[in-house]
Every structure is written in structure tokens, then in C-alpha cells.
Chains A and B, each alone.
Chain A
Amino acid sequence: MRCRRARDLMPARLDGELSREELVEVEEHLAWCSTCRAEWQKIRAVDQLFKSAPARSAPTHLRTQIMTRIDRREQARRAIAGGLALAMGATAVALLTAIPIALGLLENLGIAPALLIGGVGTATQLLTLLDALSRTMLVLLDQFAVPLVVSSLSSLVVALALNGLWIAMIRRLRVAG
């Protein structure tokens, strides 16, 4: 056996991964080659030093610190999920209420064609629209009583559905608990 091969096999010998034949070969080589024997002793010294080192124990507060960070993280996630659900619900309510009213207003006042035409008089038309809106709001509330009730009920259903979704999400987020 050559020195190079003997040295290549040294780590495997430390880890007990040599075949019986390889082990005999290495032993024979080490018996007569003082250079490789010195190399073997060096590597074995590393092995012995590292095997003698005990494992370090975690500080007693480590677990508490980890669990506190996880709790904080969970609270933040719940708050974000809750906020998101509320924002979605509020948007749905706003849209369901505003769209029928806006459409009705545009139709009743005949403003839609004016808005489409646009051009130089757009600013004046918009001012007119705002003025008309403010003046006729009370009158129109009577006329749109039915759509308002319908949209409110729809909003309520959507909000309840989103709430259920939120609760389901929170339950899923509690991966371990």
C-alpha cells in the first residue's frame, strides 16, 4: 500500500468504515511507515479531542423566549387576518350600498350623457352634479328605499360570510396549539 492511499483511508478507519481487508492493509502500512504513523496519530488526536467535548446546554430562559416570540407572531398574524377580513367586509358593504344609488342617480338626473360628452364644460357639469346630489339626496332616499334595504341585507350576508372565513383562517393558523 502506498502512503497516499493509506492517508486517504485514515478518516474511514476512524469512523470504522473500512473493510477487514482495508483495515489489515492500513495497519500493515502504519507498522513500517513512520511518516504515515505520525499522520495517523495527528488525526486521531483531533478525533479524541473532539469526542471528549461535552454538548452545551441551552440557557434556562431560551424556551420562554422562543415561545414569547411565537405568541407575538401569532397575535400579529391574527390582527392582520382580522384587519384584512374587516377591510374586505367594509369594502363590500360600501360597494353594495353605493353602486345602486350612484347608478340610480345618474339615470334619474340624466347626467350620464353629460359626463360622457365631457370636453370644456366638464368642470361645470361636475359642479352641477355635486350641487344636484346634495339638494336632491333627501328626496331620492324615499325613492330608493327598496334598493337600500336590499343592499343592506346583502351587505350583512357578505359580512357574515367574511367573518366565518376569518374564523376559519385563524383556526388554520393555529398550526400547533
Chain B
Amino acid sequence: MAFGRLVEAYQDPVYNLAYRMLGNGPEAEDAAQEAFIRAYRHLASYDPRRPFSTWLFSIASHYCIDRLRRRRIDWLPLKEEIAEPVRLASASPNPESVVTERDREAWIQELMSDLSPQDRAAVILHYWYDYPYKEIAEILGLTVSAVKSRLYRARRALADQMEGEAYALQTS
């Protein structure tokens, strides 16, 4: 089946997007499946003039954003959804040297868990997919200036959080 080849080609990026958005493997797997099923169901509405990846990531992003919103409505704290607890390797105040390779992943997920769903999606599409502002805007259904301001706000928040954690480690 031709769609099988599309799944083969895009399963990794869609899964990574869902994992970075939702913060754990089982939910990411479920979300990736759902994104592909939705894409299959609405294949007729795909405009071939647009890149397929943009369309597919738009479906996956919006599904994950909705899921995160529902999670908030259910009063589940996002940090409890992180699969593994974050343990920093040393008490150095410099964030770049604080984490080992092993802990880096968990730390990144924890940092992102405080971002709003749309800010998180913008950060993920920017850092892991290297998309320009225009492409991110298309995927998330935002204007380019909204993407810029979201990324700016998210980076500031992440920087403050990193600094806060480093300070907490230094004084503990």
C-alpha cells in the first residue's frame, strides 16, 4: 500500500514530534498512530502543492496540542507525565556542564513541560526540524510574527528556568 511507504518515511519525525510534545513514549506512540490515521482519513484534503511533511506535522502538532489541553483540563500536572525523573549529575552552576548525556533528554523534557502547548510546538519545530518561521507558522496555523514572539517568549522562559535550576543546585 502506498500509504505504508509514507508511514515508513515519516514515522520517525512524527514520533519524535509527539514524544517531544507529550514527554513520554506510550503517549507519543498513540499520538503518532492517531496522526497517521487522521492523515489517511483526510488524504483527499491534502493539497499536493504544499510539502507533505508540513501537512502531516500540522495534523500531528494540532493533535498533540489538543491532547495537552485536555490533559490540563483534567488537572493532571504536566511534570507528573514525564516518564523518568530528572537527576542532574553535578551541582555546577553552569547549565551546559550540569547534565550528562544520559540526563540531557529528561532535563529538556522537564524544561519544556512548563511551556504552553503551542509554544512547545514552536520550540520543537524550530530545534528538531530546523523549520524557518514561515513553515512553523503554516504548520501551527499562526502568523510569522506570532511564531517569532512565541519562540522569543519560550526561549526566555526556558533560560529563566535553566538559571533557576542551576541556582537551586548551587545553593542546595
Query: Which A residues contact B (CB, under 8 angstroms)?
Result: 8, 11-12, 14, 39, 42-43, 45-53, 55-59, 62-63, 65-67, 69-70, 73, 175-177
B residues 133-171 in Cβ contact with A at 8 Å: 148, 151-152, 155-156, 158-160, 162-163
Closest A residue to B3 using CB positions? A176
Whether the Cβ atoms of A176 and B123 lie closer than 8 Å is no
Interface size on B, residues (CB 8 A): 46
Known A42-B159, A42-B163: A58·B32 in contact at CB below 8 Å: yes
Contact of A63 among B11, B96, B107, B159 (CB under 8 A): B11
- A65 vs B26: C-alpha distance when bound (angstroms): 13
- A56 vs B14: C-alpha distance when bound (angstroms): 10
Known A11-B151, A66-B7, A176-B2: A55·B33 in contact at CB below 8 Å: no
Q: Output the least CB separation between B165 and chain A (Å).
A: 12
Closest B residue to A40 using CB positions? B159
Cβ of B52 within 8 Å of any chain A Cβ, yes or no, is: no
Whether the Cβ atoms of B15 and A175 lie closer than 8 Å is no
- Chain A residues with Cβ below 8 Å from B96 are 45, 48-49
Among A11, A58, A59, the most chain B Cβ lie within 10 Å of the Cβ of A58
Q: Output the least CB separation between B24 and chain A (Å).
A: 11
Whether the Cβ atoms of B7 and A63 lie closer than 8 Å is yes
Top 4 nearest A-B pairs by Cβ distance?
A: A58-B15, A176-B3, A42-B159, A50-B127
Q: Output the least CB separation between A10 and chain B (Å).
A: 8
- Chain B residues with Cβ below 8 Å from A12 are 148
Cβ of B76 within 8 Å of any chain A Cβ, yes or no, is: no
- Chain B residues with Cβ below 8 Å from A58 are 11-12, 14-16, 29, 32
- A51 vs B108: C-alpha distance when bound (angstroms): 11
Closest A residue to B148 using CB positions? A11
